[in-house]
Amino acid sequence: MFKRAIFDKKNVLVLGGAGFIGSHLCDRLVQTAKVICIDNFSTGTEYNIDHLLANPNFKFIKADLSEPLSLESQPELASFKVEFQGVQEIYNLTCPTSPLDFHKNKIANLLANSYVVKNALDLAQKYQAKLLHFSSSVVYGARRSSERVAEEFVGALDPLAERASYDTGKCFAETMVRTYRDVYNLDAKIIRLSRIYGPRMPLNQGHLLPDFIANALDNRDLVIFGNETFATSFCYVDDCLAAIEKLMNSELAGPLNVGSDFDVNLTEMAKRVIAMTGSQSKIVYTDEHLFITSLPLLDITRAREQLGWIPLVSLEHGLEKTIDDLRASKNLKRTDYAQSAA
């Protein structure tokens, strides 16, 4: 067992830390810990972490986590004394999340849901660190009704389906986490997220809200993949971070549903975005997309009763914050994403 000799602050490892949720998590963690952010910029961007690079309690390493990584051999981590202190917490957010580029990322999804998870778990075992693995509501399968699904629900997934590298991959990743927990007695936890939104979301990748907002700001059509009945839920990133913190500091292992348990009609959402941006955009409908779906509606009773967590940020306030961010930075985001994806 790794002997913990914690100095002034704990060491925290955020895998996929340059992504949308990961970068917000780094912002919060760096206030009380030394944060090691690892990303390969497949869908995350340097733009999301630029403001942290000068912070002595934040270090970034560009690496492909499908290969084992030795933290002790990284010269930039010398001040974190990893060889003596190790790592106390690991957050695994790695997985390409670009609906429009799903086909391009199929192999990357397979690796993220297998080798990357194994390497993260091996690091947790080595350092006897707590690990929080980020899963998704896709493990419940396609939405079949408006009923909310609890963590005990066993979804029906086709391992040979076109999007199985992500959906079934997420299930396999959860199996790995649970198995390591059982065999090695790791404090390994699972959180299942459903449609989190907020500042720093990537543009032009099929994430609904940011594309709505960007198009509205440019007076272009807002495209809905489906018809007027398309409804889904939205949870603001600050609420998500509060749940993450509560879960990591609890005795719960999960899985734990985190997201909004209320549907929002996408057409009404598009109208709201148009009104809030003063746009002249129109709403248009097109064929359904394989990876832009309603997602099952979550039952968050366990989070409410066992963690005292509920989403608090109103949709109106969350939209305002997201619109303000994209209005200020959408051109920079487009340029930055194009460079990182090249």
- List, by residue number, the catalytic residues: 166
φ, ψ for residue 39, nearest 5 deg: -160, 155
Angle at 173 between CA 171 and CA 174, to 5 degrees: 65
Distance separating alpha carbons of residues 242 and 18, to the nearest angstrom: 19
Distance separating alpha carbons of residues 66 and 310, to the nearest angstrom: 34
Are 189 and 248 within 8 A, CB to CB? yes
Are 133 and 173 within 8 A, CB to CB? yes
78 CB-contact burial (10 Å; exposed 0-12 / middle 13-18 / buried 19+): exposed
Other Cβ atoms within 10 Å of 66 Cβ, number: 19
Distance separating alpha carbons of residues 41 and 108, to the nearest angstrom: 12
Distance separating alpha carbons of residues 148 and 153, to the nearest angstrom: 10
Distance separating alpha carbons of residues 133 and 94, to the nearest angstrom: 9
Angle at 237 between CA 90 and CA 147, to 5 degrees: 100
Are 281 and 219 within 8 A, CB to CB? yes
Distance separating alpha carbons of residues 327 and 235, to the nearest angstrom: 20
